[in-house]
Structure 1
Amino acid sequence: MNLVLTVLEIVSPVFLLALVGFTWVKTGHEYRLEFVTKLTMTLSVPALIFTALVKADIEPAALTALSFAAVAAYAGVTLAAYLAVKLFKLDSRTFLAPLIFGNTGNLGLPLALFAFGETGLSYAVVVFAVMALWSFTFGVYVTAGGGSPAKAFKEPLVWATALGALFLWQGWTLPKFAMNTLELLGQVAIPIMLITLGVAVARLHPHGLGRAGIIAVAKVILCAGIAALAGRYFHLDPIAFAVLVVQIATPVAVTSYMLAEKYGADSDAVAALVVASTLLSVLYLPILLAIVI
């Protein structure tokens, strides 16, 4: 019973804040999704990543091991997703990126914070950064049918991760006023990302939810299994292992829909995957957390 209550305490704020965003839009209020997304991804999330790494009371070797495990996990998920897409004759531009990339930002970071505290958040930003780098390169390339890998290095969160890792490695910090400013800016990220998730889901117009639900279940099993294997291989500590599994098993990211819409893939099919996997996550994330906690 205590475990059930603990898991509910972790996941309830996540889904309640997403429900706030969903209800906000459904009741006719304005929400400028593009502006808010750009604000968080350009300012707030990089600040959150940088300060989480600078403040992290974690051995650099542990973060290095997690980085390698995350890279290995995403490599395994990418290969498995590619084979699945080919085997079931699905359109690569539409389905490959959604099968690989989960919502490690809007959903994964808050879950890690609520479940494992600041230590979990520090681990989670590493997994998020690996995902973002792969998404901005390979993900864009697949969905668009081409693209430049250099795009990833124009993203502020990539530089925030690199600087945060450097500061952590060297034991550096910033003056108190600068850290306080960045921490305040970073605190905006968690609630805004969750509300934005609810807004995005409310505005999607999915078709074919039945097939999307089957694909979403397969994605969870695939991602969680491969992440667990990678975590065991690199001998991650219990918190790092749990964060890796939960992060990689998060539902399909809304950014997958945005990329499909932008580059002319089947955005309706991706919308169905986002909605189906997000709704299913209400059920499977508590179960997954109960297993790894």
Structure 2
Amino acid sequence: MVLILTVLEIVAPVGLLGAIGYLWVKTGHEYRMEFITRLSMTLSVPALIFTALMKTELEPAALTAVTLAAIVAYGALTLILWGVVKGLGLDRRTYLAPLIFGNTGNVGLPLAMFAFGEAGLGYAVVIFAVMMVWSFTFGIWLVSGGGSPWRIVREPAMGATMLGALFLWQGWHTPVWLTNSLTLLGQIAIPMMLITLGVAVARLTPGRLGRAVWLSLMRAVLTVAVAVAVGRFFALDQVAFAVLVVQISTPVAVTSYMLAEKYGADADAVAGLVIASTLLAIITLPLTLGFLI
């Protein structure tokens, strides 16, 4: 009973803020997705990443292990899912990227923070950064049939990641007034991302939902299995291991739908994956957290 209450305390804020965004749109209120997304990805998320890395008290060796584990986990998922998509005869441009990349920002960061505190958030930010690099290089190349791998360099979140890593490595800190300002700016990132996730789901039009459901079930099992195997291989500590499993197994990212829409893949099919995996996560994520806590 205590475990159930603990898991509900972790998951409830995520679900509640997502529901607020969903209901906000469904009741006819305006929500300027482009403005909020740009504000979040240009200012608040970079501030959150930078301050989380700068203030983290985790050992550099532990962060290195998590980084390597995340790289190996995403590499393994890419190879396995490439074979699955090819074996099932699915369109690679449409299905491969969404199956690989989870919602490590909107869902993973809040869950890591609520479940494992500042230490968990530090690990989650590192895994989020690894996912971003792979998503904005290989992911865009995959969906678009081309694209420049240098696009990632122009992303503010990646600049914040590299700068935060430098400060962490050197033990530097910004002046208190600047740290407080950046921390305050970063604090709006998580609620904004969760509300925006609800808005995005409310606006999606699912396509071929039957296929999306069984693909999401397959993905849920596979991502947890890969994350557990990689975490055990690298002998991660308890918190790092738990965060790796949660981050890798988050539902399909809404950005996958946006990229499919932008580059001419089957956006309707990707929307179905987003909705199916997000609804499935209402069951799978609490079960996963219950196993990890």
- Cα distance between partner residues in 2 of 1:124 and 1:79: 23
- Sequence identity percentage: 65
Residue correspondence of structure 1 range 141-180 to structure 2 within 5 A: 141-180=141-180
Indicate the residue corresponding to 2:198 in structure 1: 198
Any idea what the Cα deviations from partners look like across 1:250-287, whole Å, max 9, x if unmatched?
Answer: 00000000000000000000000000000110011000
Aligned equivalents of 1:178, 1:266: Cα separation in 2? 44
**C-alpha contact (below 8 Å) 2:77/2:223 kept by paired residues:** yes
Letter in 2 for 1:161: T
TM-score normalised by L of structure 1: 0.99
Q: CA deviation at 1:224?
A: 1.1
Aligned to 1:147, the other structure's residue is in SS state coil
Return the letter of the residue paired with 1:288: T
Verify the 8 A CA contact 2:136 2:152 in the aligned structure 1.
yes
Q: 1:46-93 CA distances to partner (integer Å, 9 max, x unpaired)?
A: 100000011111001100000000000000000011000000000000
* Counterpart residue type for residue 161 of structure 2: T
* Distance in 2 separating the partners of 1:91 and 1:38: 30
Taking the aligned partners of 1:227 and 1:155, their CA distance within structure 2 comes to: 27
Cα drift, residue 10 of structure 1: 0.2
Tell me how far apart the structure 2 counterparts of residues 37 and 79 of structure 1 sit (CA, whole Å): 31
The C-alpha deviation readout for 1:105-141, integer Å capped at 9, x for no partner, is 0000000000000110000000000000100000000
Residues 26-45 of structure 1 mapped to structure 2, 5 A cutoff: 26-45=26-45
Q: CA deviation at 1:187?
A: 0.2
Amino acid at match of 1:108: G
Alignment check: 8 A CA contact 2:207 2:270 kept: no
Q: What amino acid does structure 2 have at the position aligned with 1:271?
A: A
TM-score, length of structure 2 as denominator length = 0.99
Q: Which residue of 2 aligns with 1:5?
A: 5
Q: How many residues are paired up?
A: 293
**Which structure 1 residue ranges, 5 or more long, are not aligned?**
none
SS in 2 for 1:73: helix
Query: Equivalents in 2 of 1:271, 1:158: separation in Å?
Result: 26
Matches within 5 A, 1:45-64: 45-64=45-64
Q: Report if the CA contact (8 A) 2:54-2:173 is conserved.
A: yes
Partner SS for 2:29:
coil
What residue in structure 1 maps to residue 262 of structure 2? 262
Structure 1 partner of 2:214: 214
1:150 Cα offset (Å)? 0.3
Residue identity matched to 1:150:
W
Structure 2 residue aligned with 1:24: 24
Separation in 2, partners of 1:150, 1:34: 23
Q: Note if 1:129 corresponds to 2:103.
A: no
Answer yes or no: is the 8 Å Cα contact 2:44–2:189 preserved in 1: yes
Runs ≥4 in structure 1, deviation > 6 angstroms?
none
SS for the counterpart of 2:273 is: helix
SS in 1 for 2:173: coil
* Structure 2 counterpart of 1:89: 89
What is the alpha-carbon distance in structure 2 between the residues aligned to residue 250 and residue 177 of structure 1? 35
Separation of aligned partners in 1, 2:284 and 2:163: 35
Q: Which amino acid is 2:25 matched to? A: V
Using the TM superposition, give the Cα deviation of residue 165 of structure 1 relative to its aligned residue in structure 2, in angstroms. Answer: 1.1
What is the alpha-carbon distance in structure 2 between the residues aligned to residue 10 and residue 42 of structure 1? Answer: 27
> What code does the residue aligned with 1:257 have?
Y
Q: Supply the RMSD in Å over aligned alpha carbons.
A: 0.6
Gaps of 5+ in 2: none
CA distance in 1, matches of 2:34, 2:267: 17
The corresponding residue for 2:241 is 241
- Rounded to whole Å, the distance in 2 between the matches of 1:79 and 1:223 is 12
